[in-house]
Amino acid sequence: MQESNNITYIFLIIILLLVVIIGFMVYQLVQVRKAKNEVDKNFYALEMKVNDLQLETLESKLNPHLFKNILNSIQSHAYQTYFALDKLANVLDYILYESKKKFVTAKEEIDFALNLIEINKIKISPLFELKIKKNIDVEDKLYLEPLLAPLISIDLIENAFKHADLQNPDAFISVIFEFKDNAFAMTVSNKISDKKVLKKEKSGIGNATLENRLRIIYKNNFKLDRFVENDIYIAHLKINLLEYKTEMFTSR
């Protein structure tokens, strides 16, 4: 009888020890998960700070570069200065005020791009074909929601005007803006000039800036394709704003 009681007592002690050990392990697991969540949170905050610093650096390069190109266009075509200055006023307002925001609406960015195109038009021959098309669903709920990085359209437009023969009546530039199914897209194409483009020092800022900004801001929620087909350079950008908005809120 005494031996049976001893066995029962030992068995209870073992069970108690197991409960204590399991409880301790569960506690440690909870603490580890809390620590991991805290590390993830701190890492995300640090990543946001680094991204903000990178964007500030990129934008500090972008705005003076854009402004210089615009002034060069106006200066080389003085006879259209009045009209160009009117469009320039709109562009400068956007650069000075809207571009300081983290995001703008698709409507605001498209209006800015159209003004930029009007300024560049002073460089082209009267016979040059410039086609602008808009395919926009104004009822789309995200069209007027600030989710688009400002000045995202500059690089594609400026490259088209830079690499097309603007005095050749057989050349062309086509710009298509689209907003449907919660996504912003633009396609810019131009016939490549036979003339060699003079490479300037520190050129290519726009290309690097666009690529870096898209990666930093939209991560996997964008697609940028650039290719040549039958002497026509085509650039297509699409940003899925709904997926980006969803990820943005779930990561908070």
* pLDDT for position 249: 75
* pLDDT for position 94: 81
- Residue 131's DSSP bridge partners are 174
Identify the three-state secondary structure at position 226.
Answer: strand
* pLDDT for position 10: 66
CATH code of the domain made up of 41-250: 3.30.565.10
**Encoded tokens for 136:** 């926009």
* pLDDT for position 242: 93
Residue 128: which H helix or E strand, with range?
A: none
Read off the pLDDT of residues 203-230 as tens digits, 9 standing for 90 and up.
444 566 788 889 989 999 999 999 998 8
**Are the C-beta atoms of residues 182 and 244 closer than 8 Å to each other?**
no
Which residue's structure tokens are 């969540």? 37
* pLDDT for position 170: 82
**Encoded tokens for 161:** 């005007």
Domain extents for the chain? 41-250
Confirm whether pTM is higher than 0.75.
no
* pLDDT for position 144: 95
Tell me the mean pLDDT per 10 residues along the chain, length 252: 59 67 69 62 53 55 60 58 68 76 93 90 82 95 94 91 83 95 96 63 56 89 92 94 87 64
**Percentage helix, strand, coil for the chain under 3-state DSSP, each rounded to 5:** 60, 20, 25
* pLDDT for position 78: 52
Residue 186: which H helix or E strand, with range?
A: strand 183-191
**Are the C-beta atoms of residues 164 and 193 closer than 8 Å to each other?**
yes
* pLDDT for position 135: 96
Query: Taking the CB of residue 189, how many other CB atoms lie within 10 A of it?
Result: 19
The CA distances from residue 144 to 84, 127, 179, in Å, are 27, 36, 11
* pLDDT for position 19: 66
CA angle (216, 110, 63) in 5-degree steps: 55
**Are the C-beta atoms of residues 45 and 200 closer than 8 Å to each other?**
no
Which is it for strands 172-180 and 222-229: parallel, antiparallel or unpaired?
unpaired
* pLDDT for position 83: 65
* pLDDT for position 167: 78
* pLDDT for position 119: 83
* pLDDT for position 203: 44
* pLDDT for position 248: 80
